[in-house]
Structure 1
Amino acid sequence: MPVRLRAALVLLVALVLVGGCASRAARSGAADPSASVTPTAACPIYEGQEMPDDCVPYDGEAMMAQNDAYRQRFEPTDESRTEVEPQRAAAQAALATLVGGPLSVDAVRDALEAAGFDRDAPWVEAAGDPAAASSIGVIISVGGLCLVGTLDGEHAEVETDGMIADGGCVPAQ
C-alpha cells in the first residue's frame, strides 16, 4: 500500500474516532446544560420520595401482583355452578362419610371413587402424616370448574370455584 494512501487512511480513522467522542460528549449533556438526561435504571416508586432524573419509574407492588396473576381464580357463573352441582354434592357426600373416622389420602380416594370419580383424577393432599392426617385438601376438575374440598375430623365441605388463570385447578409448583 502506498505511503500516501496509508496516511490518508490513518487520518480518516482518527477523524472518525474524534468525531465519535465529540458527539458522545454532546449527547451526555456536557456541551449543553439544558439537555435531558437519558434514563439508565428502573427505580421503584415510593410515596413521598423524589425520583432521580436518570430513573424510569415502575410500580413494584403492581408488578408483584402481575407476577402472581397466573394463580388467580376465575369467578364461575351461576349457570356453570348449576351444571356441576350434582358432582359437587356427590363429592360433599363422599367426604362427609369420612368425618369422625381416621383420615387418610387412601380413604378419601376410595370414597371419591365410590361416588363416581376417577380414583387418580382428584388432587388430594394431607396435612401432616398422609396415613393419619389431621386434615385433607381435595381439588377435582369438573366441567371446566374446580371442586375444592376440605376434610377434617369434625366436618367436610366442598365448594365450586373457577379455574386458575394458568389453566387447571392446581397452580404449578
Structure 2
Amino acid sequence: MLHRTRAALVPIVAVALLAAGCADRPGVTPAGDASVTPTAACPIVEGQEMPADCVPYDGEAAMAQNDAYRQRFEPSDDGRAEVEPQRAAAQEALASLVGAPLSVDAVNVALEDAGFEPDVPWVEPAGDPAAPSSIGVIISVGGLCLVGMLDAEHAEVETDGMIADGGCVPAQ
C-alpha cells in the first residue's frame, strides 16, 4: 500500500514543483501582464524606434572594439632611443637593396648581415611574390617594432609600438 501511495504522489509533487518553478522564471510573464522581457540585442539606428523586446547597443562602438587588438601603442621617446641602433642597421640594410631586383631572400640576407637573427624579421612581398612591387619588413626589438618598406626607389624603417594583442604582426 505504501508503494502505491508513493507512486501516486510523485506525479502530483512533480506538477506542483514545475508550476512553482515557472511562476517567477525570467522571460515568462503571467497572463495579463503587459511587461516585456528583452529577448534580443539590437543595434541603435538613428531615426528608428527600438522594438520593445530589444536591449539596445551601439554597433559602431562594438565594431571599433572588435579591431582594438590591432591598435598600436605609441612608443616612448626613451624606447625609441633604445632601439635606434637596430632601426638604423635595418634602414641601412634595406637601403643597400634600393635599385636591385626585389626579393625576399635578398632582404633576409641583408638583415642577417646587419645583425638580425635569421627568421626573426617578418618579411612579406606585395604583389607578385616572384617579382614583388615592394617588400614589407617588421622586426620585434626591445618591446617595440621596427616597421620597414622597400621598393625599387626607396627604403624606410620606422620605430613603432607593439599591437594591443601583443607582438608586431596581428594574428591572421
TM (norm. structure 2) is: 0.86
Aligned equivalents of 1:4, 1:120: Cα separation in 2 = 78
Q: Is the 8 A contact 2:120 2:139 kept in 1?
A: yes
Q: Which residue of the partner structure matches residue 98 of structure 1?
A: 97
Secondary structure in 2 aligned to 1:75?
coil
Structure 1 spans left out of the alignment, 5+ residues = none
| 1:1-173 superposed matches below 5 A | 1=1, 5=5, 9=9, 12-13=12-13, 16=16, 19-20=19-20, 23=23, 28-33=29-34, 36-173=35-172
Contact 1:29 1:37 (8 Å CA) reproduced:
no
- Secondary structure at the aligned position of 2:87 is classed as helix
Report Cα offsets for 1:67-104 as digits up to 9, x if no partner. 12111111101110111111111111110111111010
2:104/2:125 contact within 8 Å kept: yes
CA pair 148-22 structure 1, distance change in 2 beyond 3 A: closer
Checking the alignment, whether the CA contact within 8 Å between 2:94 and 2:110 is kept in structure 1 is: yes
Distance 1:120 1:23, change over 3 A: closer
Q: CA RMSD in A?
A: 2.6
Aligned-residue offset at 1:16? 1.7
Cα offset, 1:128, TM superposition: 2.8
Distance 1:13 1:82, change over 3 A: same
Moved over 4 A (4+): 17-22
Task: Give yes or no for contact 2:23–2:30 (8 Å, CA) kept in 1.
Answer: no
Write the letter of the residue equivalent to 2:140.
Answer: S
**Total equivalences in the alignment:** 170
TM-score, normalised relative to structure 1: 0.85
Q: Percent identity?
A: 77
Gaps of 5+ in 2: none
